[in-house]
Structures are given as C-alpha cells and as structure tokens.
Structure 1
C-alpha cells in the first residue's frame, strides 16, 4: 500500500513483506522520516494535510501530520477486514469515515480535529463496499456490496442528498 500526500514528496508505505509496519518517506530525497509498528496488519492508510489515519481490522489510529504523534485511537470498531475508510482533505470538515456495522451499510463519521465521534449515517441495507468524501468534506458518496445504488449524504447532518441507481434512465 502506498498513499501520497497530494503532489508533495511525502508518501506512506506498507509493504506486503512487513504488513504491520508503516513507513513515512520523502521520496524525492530518498529518506525515511519515521517508522511505526502495529500489533496487527495495516489494511489502509489515509493522508490529509493535518492527519494520518492508519486502519487495522478492529481499530483506527489518528496521527498529527506535523509531528507524527499519535493523537487518538478509535478502538473496537466493527470488524473491517477490507480496511474500508476515507479521510476528508478539508480543514473545514476534517472527517474520517468508516463502516459502523458489519451487517448494514452504516457510516460512522469521526471528527479528526476534536477527536470525537460524529453522526452515524444509515446509508444502505447491505454492508458498505466503497466510500469517498468530496473535496470540501461536506458530502460522502457510498456504495453497498450489492452495487446497485450510489448514495450521496451530507457528512454534517446525514441527510441523503442524491441517489444514483444502476440501469435507470
């Protein structure tokens, strides 16, 4: 897994040979900035200007990008074997989203600045397969594992704003 911070030279790397180790590197200089080891395999890494989120199957670690210090650990999340999560790049809506359930398509929104859970959005009846924030972090698009509907919700109040259905003209 490689995640790049926009067009900067900063990358986060998790190799298949060491799936529990996160390296943050400056690839133009060829230098390693830091290395963290985790108790379980790292399934996803997300970067924004202010935060680094590391997703394991049962927890998510939130680091400050400035000094890479651990700010918060979200423990005992519903089993997330695919490492499904998304991090807003917006400073105004600095949210992290991850599945709130293993059986339904709930999205848990988490405020990465105040380090508090936000709203829980009931987006789909089936488990989530994909999610992504818009550039402003105000909307989140989701799809379930059925793959028939994409829904756009407000990440602030959870209101369903749009629904796109496969095969409808």
Structure 2
C-alpha cells in the first residue's frame, strides 16, 4: 500500500526546459526557481542554482562555467527577450543581450553566441560586450530550430521546409530544400559531417552531407503523422536516434556512401548500393524498395531498432556512447500526464540473430518530485 502523502500539483517542481550539452555528457533543466545540471550517464545531480524566477532556456557550453539563460514560466527570472550569459564560477550574470522579440533558442561555442528569434538568427562573437557578426532571415521559427558545430550553423531557410547552412568562418550560406512542409527538428553530427531534418509531417527523416549538401539517405519513422521531438547523430556518425510524440525511440543505421571522402574513409564499408540485401552491421533497407513501379514509401529505410519511452511531454535524446542513448522528458504534455524522466537505452545483439535490439537499461525521476 502506498502511504506516501499526495503532493499538491502546485508544489511539484516542473521542468520548463531540458537539453543536452554539446557531447551529451550532461543535461540542463530549467525550472520555476532556477536551473539544475545533471550528468547524463549515470543521471546524477551536479549543480543546483536557485533563482528568484523561472528559467525557460539553460543552454550549456560543454562542461565550462558559462550558460545562456532565458526567463520563462509563471514568474520569469529574466525578460523573455533577453539572453543572460551566466558565469557559474562567479554565480552571477556577466553579459546581458536584449532583442526586439522573444528569444526562442540559444547556442554557444567558445567563440560564438547564436540567438534564435521567430524570424531571425543572430550570430555574435563571444566577447564582453558581444559583437554581432551576422543576422539571417528565416521562415517563422517559433520552436527555435537551430544546430551548431564548431564550423557550421544550421537553421531554417526563408522557404518552408528549406534548411540554411552557414559556414561560420566565411559567412557563406548554402540552401537545402529538405522538405515541402515546415521543419520540426534539425540536428548536426558531433563531427559536423551530417545534418538530419524532419518536417511537421514527421513520417520521413532526411540526412544530408554537410560538405556538399547531397542527400545521404531517407529514413521512415512511420506511416502516421507524428510530432518529432528530437534528432541526434551518434559520435561516429553511424547512427541516428529519433524521439516523437508516439513515445517511441527509433534508432537507424546510417550509410557511409554519399559523404565527403575524408569523412567516410575510416568508416565501415556499406553495401547499400548493391542489388542484394544488406545484412550484418550495415543497414536494413526495405527489400520491396528494389522492386519496380512501387511508391517511394517502400524505398525508405526503416529503423534498425526501436523502444518505447515513458516520460511525459517533449523528449530530448542524446548519445552517451556509440551504442547507448539517453532520453530526457520534461513531463506534462498536451494531456497533462507524464512526468520528467531520465531513461537510458542500449543497443544489444538480438537473441534470435536478427540484428540489434534497443533495450531500456534504467530510468529515474530526475526532479525527485515523489
């Protein structure tokens, strides 16, 4: 029998934001009275900072002492059109940046601050005060979609479904017509060689080469429309993880063909261009796709492994190893159900010899509300 007293919903700590740092070794959580930082594997609280108000964005800079904070929640700590650069070594703000509209997302490198508004992306040199390098116009981007590597910035184009790639050194822009409907998720690999995109339809994920903007592969998440929450490419660019409102984590094997030769030279060989089935450690292509006159639906690659996650609300995914991912859910959601959870999944060889399985290895309620 459960004899623990029921918590009043008003007393429960609510996650306003959850996101990984650049290598997914940590994740940060914004709450109504500040922010927390956790190690990703194992899930352990590292830092708690209590502030007089809510934090809707707490973007980390690797494991450095700087974070970008944006206010939010019922009682925002900072105005939602401001970015505060927080120095955790000094435990105080050191830079304040104000904009004409609400800030949707922030990304940091050691040399750049990228601020995303609904219709623009601002790029600054990380200095005090910051100096603005570029401003790019985008299609309406209320989700603050953006991805950043050391050399490349990726964000929505001016046309729905298009992606812009900015070389941060030169400021040159390339355009990828990735989808015909507005974007819902984008990511860039840790190596900076691959870009993955999903649209509002959520049935197809496309992967492109960052070197030449060519299509590397097309991945089918499912048949029914879904809201894709998060995309993440593994450390060696061999796998892609996808979470959606179907509460399912999909894992895909990525081919090495179609990439820049320098990116693929040390990767495992792929037989995806052959006429026979692909087996072993490579890919699971739909065999029906090799038959003539069938719709393109049958030629998309299906996930190599999948599993269900249980946390509520949106769910960010990050690779903690080449064969292990962590899903961090913020709780709540459209139905008001669910809870903030950390869940770890590992890829293991199937017992029946049919490739790999995705198994949940552990989970916890990271806010310890109960």
Indicate the TM-score class for this superposition, using the shorter chain for normalisation.
Answer: 0.7 to 0.9
Unaligned stretches of 5+ residues in structure 1: none
Query: Which residue of 79, 99, 106 maps to 2:162?
Result: 106
- Between 1 and 2, higher relative CO (CA 8 Å, sep ≥ 6) is seen in 1
Q: Say which SS state the counterpart of residue 49 (structure 1) adopts.
A: coil
- 2:115 alignment partner in structure 1: 54
In the TM superposition, residue 25 of structure 1 has moved relative to its aligned partner by: 1.0
Rounded to whole Å, the distance in 2 between the matches of 1:126 and 1:75 is 20
Query: Which residue of 177, 188, 192 maps to 1:137?
Result: 192
Change beyond 3 A, Cα 1:99–1:27: same
Output aligned runs, 1:8-19, within 5 Å: 8-16=64-72, 17=76, 18-19=79-80
Q: Say which SS state the counterpart of residue 52 (structure 1) adopts.
A: strand
Q: Say which SS state the counterpart of residue 198 (structure 2) adopts.
A: strand
- 2:212 alignment partner in structure 1: 157
Tell whether the 8 Å contact from 1:79 to 1:102 is kept in structure 2 after alignment.
no
- 1:29 alignment partner in structure 2: 90
Change beyond 3 A, Cα 1:43–1:29: same
Number of residue equivalences: 163
Change beyond 3 A, Cα 1:68–1:3: farther
Rounded to whole Å, the distance in 1 between the matches of 2:205 and 2:158 is 18
Q: Which structure's CA Rg is the greater one?
A: 2
Q: Over aligned residues, Cα RMSD in angstroms? A: 1.7
- Partner deviation per Cα, 1:82-141 (whole Å, 9 max, x = no partner): 2111111x3xxx1111111453x2101112222232x10111222110001101212111
Unaligned stretches of 5+ residues in structure 2: 1-56, 223-301, 304-370
Query: Which residue of 124, 135, 149 maps to 1:74?
Result: 135
Q: Say which SS state the counterpart of residue 71 (structure 2) adopts.
A: coil
**Would you say 1:120 and 2:175 are equivalent positions?**
yes
